[in-house]
Amino acid sequence: MTRWKLYDNWTADLGGLTVEQLRERRSFAARRAQDAVARRAGRNPKAARDWREKLRAVEDELQKRGAGDT
C-alpha cells in the first residue's frame, strides 16, 4: 500500500487494524498534527486540522473497542 492510499483510506481502514496498530496510528497522527503547527518553515494549519481529524477517528475506534485509555 502506498503512503497516499494510507492517508486516503485512513478512516475506512481503522476497523481492520489491531489495537497495537491503532495505537501506532494514534501516535503517528499526533506527531503529524503537532509538526504541522510547529514554528518552522512547514507550518500548515489546514494539515494540522486534517491530522487532528485522523487522530480523533483513531481515538474513536480505540474507545469503541474499550482500549482508548492506554
Q: pTM for this one?
A: 0.82
Rounded to 10 degrees, what is the CA torsion of 55, 50, 4, 37? -90
pLDDT tens for the 70 residues of the chain, in order: 456 667 778 988 999 999 999 999 999 999 999 988 887 767 788 989 999 999 999 999 999 999 876 5
Write down the domain spans for the chain.
20-70
